[in-house]
Amino acid sequence: MKRVLILCTGNSCRSQMAEALWEKLGNGEWQSESAGSKPSGYVHPLAVQAMQELDIDISEYASKSLEQFQEQSFNLVVTVCNNAKEACPVFPGAKETLHWPFDDPADATGTEEEKMAMFRRVRDEIKESIQAYLNTIKNGEN
């Protein structure tokens, strides 16, 4: 089984959604984990809500520190934070590293519905990126 680690700074939104999406889209071929360099200590309620709209429950997920994964090896490490706003952690134990900068939905302002729109947009962008990567790998193996 292949292993992917999704990293960001807070491990409260993007990396949590990516972990769950990768687990679902990977069809049992991937084990996904997520972590942050400075974990927030919680999973954002709007991230939970956005994932529930896809029938994916992340309400029991926890914000984790990348330190607990440093002695482990991964086929792939994906950083999902926007480096214009925050420093992404670097993970030396990866066979491959990708950087996919997504906007941080935790920074969304406005009404609850306006914030939710940003969570949905980022969730969908993450899903599309994962699906495109998995399609590339699949097509490369055939």
* Catalytic residue ranges: 8, 81, 88
Strand intervals (E) in the chain? 2-8, 30-36, 74-81, 94-102
Residue 103 C-alpha from the chain's centroid? 12
Q: Identify which of 77, 120, 84, 74 has the alpha carbon closest to the alpha carbon of residue 99.
A: 77
DSSP code for 30: E
HSE (CB half, 13 Å, CA atoms) of 16? 33
The answer to whether 70 and 5 are in contact (CB under 8 A) is no
Distance CA 63, CA 77 (A): 17
Closest CA to 78 of 65, 90, 86: 90
